[in-house]
Structure 1
Amino acid sequence: MAGHSQFKNIMHRKGAQDAKRARMFAKIAREIIVSARIGADPSANPRLRAAMAAARAANMPKDNVDRAIKKAVGGEDTANYEEVRYEGYGPGGTALIVESLTDNRNRTASEVRSAFTKCGGNMGETGSVAFMFDRVGLIQLSKTVGSYDEVFEKAVEAGADNLEEGGDFYEIIATVDNFAAVRDAISQDYEDISESKLVWRPQNTIAVDEEAAQKILKLIDTLEDNDDVQNVYCNFEVSEDILAKLSN
């Protein structure tokens, strides 16, 4: 188990904390605001649909979603958010990609660099580790929607590359070019999509011991605590035994 799915599973097992949930809601609201500025009709705006799906998966109150859309449409939120990607190396020779939505590039760059330094990592230039990852579309569904064979067949028919299992979820993988078509086809078969977005998937993973895993998780956690950081991806891998220890 590795990277994006692994970290999410660890955090799910640790349980939601109020402070983390509040930060998560704030990040989703920011994504909704940016998305809604493109167009407030989710049926005509795939990015907004994905943001709203993320809100539902996080049990974000509908009032919060409506307020975020209203802020965008009514011009109440005047911040000029930019999408900025940061890259660097973490403990154990691991590589990380950090995606942000920020209204102050200098502030965010300084804070992200500080997080890398304090947690035993080193922030690099843009492109320094991206070549170790593939940019793909990911659609996540709860396993309660049906059997693996059933979902696999529908995913392949829709044009997906693969269907993988991660914890309690199925993960449909598609190329960037096919992602929108696959997402729209899958959403017609399954309403309860918990996640739908472009992600960075490591081409290869680096096995780390418990000590390095703890440091990597601390770095990821520190980055995730930053209001401007939307997503963090890492190419680390740990054994099931270490995963169980970290999850307790």
Structure 2
Amino acid sequence: MTLNKSTLSEQIYQILRSDILNQRIPLGTRLTLKNLKEQFGVSSTPIREALTRLTEEGLVNHYSNIGVNVISLTEKDLTELYQFMGDLDRLAILYSAEHPAQEQICRELEGVLSVTNAIESKGALLPEDIPEWIEHSDRFHLIFYDYCRNQRLALAAEKLRSQLTIFSNIYETEPQPQRQINQMHSRIWDAYRRKAYAQAGDLMKQHLEDSLLYAKQCIVN
């Protein structure tokens, strides 16, 4: 594999991150320097730098004298993850409600929904439609963090969202979850635009609890 030497660690990080999030590298897989050096044809330094970033992001675990493994989440881990993510997303909505640019927030939310509604209206999504649908589905949540004006909240959510994305990338390819997600996003947006912010937050938390049920089905026993 040929890499641009000026950004080796960045490129390796992005490749490994994408492979983990899309489960081309399965949960629990051990990553060794030897194999990664052979795969990328580079020294250990940029690989270590990339693995450090993945560890900080919560996508891999580093064990002294053992090595690096892609995270492996139990059903209990998933429950805690989705429950806490629901709490954070709810807070992001409530904090965003204090931002002066409410019309802009509503326009951005509506713009995201117009894309996912248009894609979903086709019926069963074609393979080429799925990445765009997932991108806009994720964007619906991220808009609230853009306007929450709380860096600590945004940083906490960013790390957890990477772990959640591993599972949403699986179940969001299926028609039933797509329909339910789109319906909940529409209900959240409707409540938010009516300034029923507490209701919007409660709906968001319920949305994450509903998504947890799909995520649990992705765990291989």
Q: Which has the larger strand fraction?
A: 1
TM-score normalized by structure 1? 0.25
Structure with the greater alpha carbon radius of gyration: 2
